[in-house]
Structure 1
Amino acid sequence: MKYKSLLLYTALCFTTVSCTVRISQTEGVSTDITKSGKLWASLWQQRAAEYDALCFQAYNVAKLRLDNSINASHPKPLAIVTDIDETVLDNSPNAVQQALLGKDFEQEAWYKWTSKAACDTVPGSYSFFKYAASKGVTVFYITNRDEREREATLKNLQKYGFPNADNEHLLLKQATSGKESRRKSVLTTHEIILLIGDNLSDFASLFDKKPEQERQAVTQNQSENFGKLFIVLPNATYGDWENAIFKYNYQLSPAQKEELIKNSLQKE
């Protein structure tokens, strides 16, 4: 069901022919790697069979782990905690629209997009969560969408028939973007057998807003949990991997972001 954008493909062809990575140009900035990069990442997400394959692979592994878990005894009812964006629902059309307008992420544009309840599903997500529900496993959606987005988010999930798409099981961002307190609230009544997401902070507070090198170190230390407790979906468009490069400074100009990107890349 993944949305395919011919407009995106046409725009990228034009970009290639013109021999520039610039999507928009502002005075004093010759290129904008960030916005053109989001177009390329969205092109991959929308049109690459390899993206689909990675998503199917993640959810196939999740199904194997689920089957192993339900065959064991547990003191509490079983639950899966999942992120929503780029894990269950695909927001790439918003990234495309922003890039074609010469803009990066904007909160109001995001609200406008999510209010449409128009996200397609991430490949493999619906089948997996439907299967989990058939086995008596409860799904909790822990997302950093906020209260303003509650109604439209539920509408989008319900449109496809995702299980437990109700107020009780939708845990939105409140005072903080950190998800640890919400995970702990689930643990008061359920045993979490899987955590599913596209961002490391979807899994544990160990990953929250850490510098690049520390993120790498924690990932190495937690390597045995990936594919067991943690199921990772691909997202090359945005996330804390990007924020870490920018040192979590959300006020950087395009030129400053470009400089950090260039300095981060390995060259010949």
Structure 2
Amino acid sequence: MRRAFSLTTSAALLLALAGCASSGTQTPTAPAPRPTPLQDAAAQAPLSDQAMLATLWIQRSAEFHALSLQAFNVAHDRLNLALARRHAQDKPLAVVVDVDDTVLDTTSYGGWALREGRTYDSQSWADWVDDAVSTASPGAVEFLNYAHASGVDVYYITNRKAAGKQATIANLAALGFPQANAEHVMPRTDSSDKTARRARVTQEHDIALLMGDNLGDFDQAFQQSTTRARNAEVARQADQFGRRFVLLPNPTYGEWEGVLYDGNWSSSEREKRAMRDAALNAWQPESGKVCQGK
């Protein structure tokens, strides 16, 4: 998620720039030492403000709409290539998609949590799933119906719990998604690892495409404990992206964030802010250079 700047920080920056503009050629006064991230944390806006910006980007930006369409256009083209290469003896083709924030938009749940001053919890999430109010990601219904019409099976491998399976099927069917049924919607049972469920699909199908918003939707090998290790695995499988793996953008949540916290999601807001700050790649200008325009 993007870092949110507080009003006090913005005001301080404007005053500093005004001072630079009025000083002419005088040597600028050395800036006061900046507080450490932990000292500054209490003056910052709450982390929920950062979540709001990311949620609004998905809900309101034309850029997200375009990126979603782009992902499904890429999937369309890659599926056509896979269909053209088929031989009579081959297994039937399948497309495997994640559900949340891949083919269904979950941000109305996030919007509710932000309005109520709450964070994710399993009970409110289950209630939201049961309401079956999710909307379709741009381009998702059209692409999956094209796949189905081309003789390709569609499997929805989701980490929603089995208790929400029927509500998920109802939500998908109401939006016009194909093959929204008990056989093709595969929720989490014992593990969030999707490897076994993908293996069930490959028993009778060749998977032409996998689509998701988290790298674990493609291969459990991406589920590493550090950002460096996750990036190394991305580099190792670089030729798969945009070909067999099609990734949707999601700045609101994901494994990438948990890695920043060393997997400790129970950290306090203050601790999470400090860990986010520590993870930033930030330019450090030499003293006075900003005012001197160098």
TM, length-normalised to structure 2: 0.80
| Residue matched to 2:54 | 41
Find out whether 1:19 has 2:19 as its counterpart. Answer: no
- The 1-side partners of 2:184 and 2:209 are apart by 15
State the shift of 1:73 in Å: 2.0
1:192-229 Cα distance to aligned partner (Å, 9 max, x none): 00000000000001112432110111111111110000
Find out whether 1:190 has 2:178 as its counterpart. Answer: no
Conserved in 2, the CA contact under 8 Å of 1:80 and 1:192?
Answer: yes
Structure 1: stretches of 5+ with no match in the other structure: 1-14, 22-27
Find out whether 1:62 has 2:75 as its counterpart. Answer: yes
Residue 79 to residue 20, structure 1, CA distance change in 2 (3 Å): farther
State the shift of 1:172 in Å: 0.7
State the shift of 1:119 in Å: 0.3
State the shift of 1:253 in Å: 1.4
State the shift of 1:20 in Å: 7.1
Secondary structure at 2:230's aligned position in 1?
Answer: helix
- The 1-side partners of 2:108 and 2:8 are apart by 22
- The 2-side partners of 1:128 and 1:209 are apart by 31
Aligned residues: 247
Aligned-residue Cα RMSD (Å) equals 1.8
| Residue matched to 2:145 | 130
State the shift of 1:29 in Å: 5.1
State the shift of 1:123 in Å: 0.5
Conserved in 2, the CA contact under 8 Å of 1:33 and 1:258?
Answer: no
Q: 1:262 aligns with which of 264, 271, 277?
A: 277
Secondary structure at 1:168's aligned position in 2?
Answer: coil
State the shift of 1:31 in Å: 4.2
Find out whether 1:175 has 2:190 as its counterpart. Answer: yes
Secondary structure at 2:7's aligned position in 1?
Answer: coil
Q: 1:150 aligns with which of 148, 160, 165?
A: 165
Q: 2:113 aligns with which of 87, 95, 98?
A: 98
| Residue matched to 1:162 | 177
- The 1-side partners of 2:150 and 2:190 are apart by 34
Find out whether 1:139 has 2:127 as its counterpart. Answer: no
Secondary structure at 1:141's aligned position in 2?
Answer: strand
Deviates further, 180-189 or 69-78: 69-78
- The 2-side partners of 1:112 and 1:178 are apart by 23
State the shift of 1:147 in Å: 1.1
Conserved in 2, the CA contact under 8 Å of 1:195 and 1:229?
Answer: yes
State the shift of 1:261 in Å: 0.7
Conserved in 2, the CA contact under 8 Å of 1:209 and 1:248?
Answer: no
Residue 20 to residue 83, structure 1, CA distance change in 2 (3 Å): farther
Secondary structure at 1:167's aligned position in 2?
Answer: coil
- The 1-side partners of 2:225 and 2:197 are apart by 20
- The 2-side partners of 1:247 and 1:141 are apart by 30
- The 2-side partners of 1:178 and 1:212 are apart by 19
Conserved in 2, the CA contact under 8 Å of 1:179 and 1:202?
Answer: yes
| Residue matched to 1:236 | 251
Q: Percent identity?
A: 37
Q: 1:77 aligns with which of 92, 114, 121?
A: 92
| Residue matched to 1:221 | 236
From the CA coordinates, give the structure whose radius of gyration is larger: 2
- The 1-side partners of 2:242 and 2:97 are apart by 14
State the shift of 1:32 in Å: 5.5
Which residue identity does 1:35 align to in structure 2? S
State the shift of 1:104 in Å: 2.1
1:4-25 Cα distance to aligned partner (Å, 9 max, x none): xxxxxxxxxxx99x8379xxxx
- The 2-side partners of 1:108 and 1:253 are apart by 21
State the shift of 1:33 in Å: 4.7
Structure 2: stretches of 5+ with no match in the other structure: 10-40, 284-294
Which residue identity does 1:122 align to in structure 2? S
